[in-house]
């Protein structure tokens, strides 16, 4: 089993409709291919984690790398894993531009920001920590919308 994490810059402003379309188109294929993961999207960047068999994850990433909707693709990690972190999700999409302002401010303080946007880290452990934090923080009653 393998985990691949990458970050990229969108060629246009990202909207929730765009994230939803990506999730819808990848859901059926990912379930069949036994791939799971998560896609974070800010107004300008994507951070995605893919987990599954080597060949499948590699093939999906090569297709993503050729997608003209984004550029400046940075491979953060591609490694062997003992167990999936995102096994329950065929592919979960989170638009961080749609977060509660308090949650967004807390994440910016912890992970940084660039041009007013939450900065997606380039280290594997930080990227996974950010995803974990978003999941935990968004469940706090005081941060719910």
Segment 18-73, tens digit of pLDDT: 888 888 877 777 777 889 888 999 889 999 999 999 999 999 999 999 999 899 99
Cβ of 89: how many Cβ atoms within 10 Å? 18
**Local confidence band at 139 (pLDDT 50, 70, 90 cut-offs):** low
Segment 71-96, tens digit of pLDDT: 999 999 999 999 988 877 677 888 88
Distances (CA, A) of 17 to 1, 37, 41, 77, 135: 31, 19, 11, 28, 21
So what's the pLDDT on residue 141?
A: 53
Domains of the chain: 2-143 (3.30.70.100)
Distances (CA, A) of 53 to 34, 59, 74, 83, 137: 7, 10, 21, 12, 30
Contact assessment for residue 71 and residue 11, using Cβ atoms and an 8 Å cutoff:
yes
Contact assessment for residue 69 and residue 10, using Cβ atoms and an 8 Å cutoff:
yes
């Amino acid at each position: 089993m393998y985990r691949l994490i990458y970050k990229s810059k969108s060629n246009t402003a990202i909207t929730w409709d765009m994230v939803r379309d990506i999730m819808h188109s990848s859901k059926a294929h990912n379930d069949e291919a036994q791939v799971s993961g998560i896609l974070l999207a800010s107004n300008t960047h994507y951070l995605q984690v893919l987990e599954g068999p080597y060949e499948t994850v590699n093939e999906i990433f090569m297709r993503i790398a050729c997608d003209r909707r984004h550029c400046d693709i940075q491979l953060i990690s591609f490694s062997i894993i003992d167990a999936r972190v995102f096994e329950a999700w065929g592919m979960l999409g989170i638009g961080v531009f749609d977060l509660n302002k308090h949650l967004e401010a807390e994440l910016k303080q912890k992970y940084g920001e660039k041009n007013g946007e939450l900065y997606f880290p380039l280290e594997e452990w930080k990227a996974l920590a950010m995803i974990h934090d978003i999941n935990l923080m968004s469940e706090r009653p005081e941060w719910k919308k």
